[in-house]
Chains A and B, each alone.
Chain A
Amino acid sequence: DAKTTQPPSMDCAEGRAANLPCNHSTISGNEYVYWYRQIHSQGPQYIIHGLKNNETNEMASLIITEDRKSSTLILPHATLRDTAVYYCIVSEENSGGSNYKLTFGKGTLLTVNP
């Protein structure tokens, strides 16, 4: 079962910021939050990840609440090409303690409108 909850869909106007929420209330202390997106008919693409501090890269910003139970992915100036399904994923640990599995839920379909 996915360990995250996301809204099934969101709309955003082109040029405006898109804020995609994710709840992960059962996250443990050493689990990371990852964001991937999947543009129609393509393979998923990595966006950003974080543990407890806010993160920013050339694609997006990730804001994680202090209790780590939720996070928000921010696309600062959404374009039509940002229309995609966005997946929020909490990494899983195996018994050996190393993380390598990703569990994809249904994600949020973000539609950027002109």
Chain B
Amino acid sequence: NAGVTQTPKFRILKIGQSMTLQCTQDMNHNYMYWYRQDPGMGLKLIYYSVGAGITDKGEVPNGYNVSRSTTEDFPLRLELAAPSQTSVYFCASSYAISDRRRQETQYFGPGTRLLVL
């Protein structure tokens, strides 16, 4: 298994441009997440999905959109890039049974570094 893969690894955007960060997992996990990490800080949850066709906002969703048309893919869309979106973006996935009162292990991708100028 490749685990969680993310593309691209690095991207420079101009203010106002748009782009999609790709995330794919091959572990048949139902839950997927997008986090961002600013320099020297912890991770902040942007959006998450509990299964295909279901997404919900996390802590910092403004300026982003997501979709989950398949179990494997969870792309993150930036419509109008702003300097405040300069960050490292991590995608993660996990398998969880909804009636279990326990977090399952989250597996993280290698990250996408985004610079908005």
Query: Taking A32-B102, A43-B90 as contacts, is the C-beta distance between A100 and B43 under 8 angstroms?
Result: no
Which chain B residues border A87 with CB–CB below 8 Å? 42
The answer to whether B107 and A46 touch across the interface, beta carbons within 8 angstroms, is yes
- A113 on the B face (CB < 8 A): no
Cα of A105 to Cα of B44 in the assembled complex, Å: 9
Within 8 A of B (CB), among A73-107: 87, 91, 93, 96-107
Enumerate chain B residues within 8 angstroms of A2, measured Cβ to Cβ: 42
Evaluate whether A100 and B48 lie within 8 angstroms (CB atoms) in the complex, with A32-B103, A46-B107, A106-B42 already known.
Answer: yes
Taken together as a complex, chains A and B put the C-alpha atoms of A106 and B41 apart, in Å, by 5
Q: Do residues A101 and B42 form an inter-chain contact, with CB atoms below 8 A?
A: no
Count residues on chain B whose CB falls below 8 Å from chain A CBs. 32
Q: Report the bound CA distance from A2 to B41 in whole Å.
A: 12
A61 to chain B, nearest CB (A): 17
Main secondary structure of the interface of A (DSSP, over half): loop
Task: Compute the total of residue contacts between A and B using a CB distance below 8 Å.
Answer: 71
| Residues in A neighbouring B105, C-beta threshold 8 A | 46, 49
Known contacts A2-B42, A102-B103; is A44 also within 8 Å of B108 by CB?
yes
Expressed in whole angstroms, the minimum distance between the Cβ of B48 and any Cβ of chain A is 7
Q: List 28 A-B contacts (CB under 8 A).
A: A30-B101, A41-B111, A42-B111, A43-B92, A43-B108, A43-B110, A43-B111, A44-B43, A44-B108, A46-B107, A93-B101, A97-B99, A98-B96, A98-B97, A98-B99, A99-B96, A99-B101, A99-B102, A100-B50, A100-B94, A101-B48, A102-B43, A102-B106, A103-B45, A103-B59, A104-B35, A104-B43, A105-B42
- Contacts A87-B42, A101-B103 aside, 12 further interface pairs with beta carbons under 8 A come to A2-B42, A43-B109, A44-B90, A49-B103, A98-B98, A99-B96, A99-B100, A99-B102, A101-B48, A103-B59, A104-B44, A106-B42
Q: Which residues of B contact A (CB under 8 A)?
A: 4, 31, 35, 40-45, 48, 50, 58-59, 90, 92, 94, 96-111
